[in-house]
Amino acid sequence: MSANTAPLVDAFQRRITYLRLSVTDRCDLRCSYCMPEMMQFLPKKEVLSLEEMHRLALAFIDRGITKIRLTGGEPLVRRDMIELVLALGRKLGDGLEELTLTTNGTQLTRFAEPLAAAGVQRINVSLDTRDAALFEQLSRRDRLSDVLDGIAAAKAAGLKVKLNTVALKGLNENEIPDLVAWAHAQGHDMTLIEAMPLGEVDGERVDHYLPLPIIRDRLETMWTLEPLDYSTGGPSRYVRVAETGGRLGFITPLTGNFCAFCNRIRVTATGQLFACLGGSEQVDLRAALRSDDPDARLAEALDEAMRIKPERHHFEIARGAAPAQPRHMSVTGG
Ligand code: SAM
Ligand code: SF4
């Protein structure tokens, strides 16, 4: 049967060209805003094999997906994950325009070079603090030096690094200007993110929720922030910091809605397609993949995903309230 090549366009006429594929929900850190200390991970048998993920990715590329971001959990803790990167790297220039990943950086000293060799050019690395004690408090692991070595290794391998920082009241909020200055001095762009109410964590997320307009106002008392047209097709709105020369992005799922430009869908490590990070609309791609007629079932499932993709998310973060979604970001794929 010939491949279905109909482009993915949702009910609001948004063309979907960007897939975020979670290769595992497991992680070697336990960031306190992301997951509880005793996180229950999915049984391994429920997770797609790398061959299934590859097959899925090829079906998406046939339908006009041009950018794939591998994520998790921590994508680099999945054994043999680099084989998937190599296989997808072969599609670069043949339907796929960009292959990238989001990582916590702990394993990058080992993987930066193989990633670059496979055709990855840009990666996002999460870094909420450069203070070792705060890093350990936030991530419940003493791994800051591994992460900083990993970021250096990525740069040395020629990867363009963007740092992602979740702004956290009373934790890293006073360090943010230093982090931005450091990132820019290293030649890295940086994006600040508001904490989102996804999945239960120990304690109240709202205690550390910090609206980014507050940070932006503070930075404006120190620096000149020049709005940029630059966009990676994502929710980040960028400025150039005149004094550092670097780019700074703001992702504001709570204080500013960006859904009108949404071009993405997410697939979990078990093959569940989520049409929106903040919604429950879901299609089971694993069942399609494991059916008697995977090509036809997958095509139907992707069409269904386009029908159900919601117009926008509705996040609220409030004391005592249940999370907007029970799924952790590490499950849906951050
Ligand atoms: N483990 C990798 C990492 O940390 O980069 C990839 C997955 S992680 C879920 C992706 C991004 O989501 C990270 O930048 C992390 O800080 C962010 N994140 C996790 N939980 C979040 C939440 N509840 N609200 C906002 N950002 C969150
Ligand atoms: Fe792991 Fe990333 Fe979640 Fe931190 S944010 S616990 S590194 S998945």
Per-residue pLDDT reduced to its tens digit, 242-297: 999 999 999 887 776 667 778 889 999 999 998 887 778 889 999 999 999 999 99
What's the mean per-residue pLDDT of the chain?
91
pLDDT in tens, 111-169: 999 999 999 999 999 999 999 999 999 999 999 999 999 999 999 999 999 999 999 99
Domain coordinates in residue numbering, the chain: 18-332
How many Å apart are CA 138 and CA 144, to the nearest integer? 11
Pocket test for ligand 2, best of 29, 38, 129, 138 (most atoms within 8 A of CB): 29
Residue pair 165/191 in contact (Cβ under 8 Å)? The answer is yes
Show Cβ contacts of residue 115 under 8 Å, excluding neighbours closer than 6 positions: 82, 85, 101, 123, 157, 159
Question: For the chain, what's the residue count?
Answer: 334
Q: What is the pLDDT of residue 330?
A: 80
Instruction: Detail the DSSP E strand segments found in 25-107.
Output: 67-72, 98-103
Residue pair 127/164 in contact (Cβ under 8 Å)? The answer is yes
Asked if residue 27 has its Cβ within 6 Å of ligand 2, the reply is: yes
Show Cβ contacts of residue 96 under 8 Å, excluding neighbours closer than 6 positions: 61, 65, 66, 67, 68, 88
Partner residues linked to 265 by β-bridges: 19
Asked if residue 273 has its Cβ within 6 Å of ligand 2, the reply is: no
Residue pair 100/125 in contact (Cβ under 8 Å)? The answer is no
How would you classify the pairing of strands 189-194 and 160-167?
Answer: parallel
CATH number of 18-332: 3.40.50.10610, 3.20.20.70, 3.20.20.220, 3.30.450.20?
3.20.20.70
Residue at 202: amino acid letter = D
pLDDT in tens, 155-204: 999 999 999 999 999 999 999 999 999 999 999 999 999 988 777 888 87
Helices (H) and strands (E) in the chain, counts: 10, 12
How many Å apart are CA 103 and CA 123, to the nearest integer? 8
How many Å apart are CA 19 and CA 11, to the nearest integer? 18
Which residue's CA is the nearest one to ligand 1's atom 20? 34
Identify the band that residue 230 occupies on the pLDDT scale cut at 50, 70 and 90. low
Pocket test for ligand 2, best of 137, 138, 330, 332 (most atoms within 8 A of CB): 330
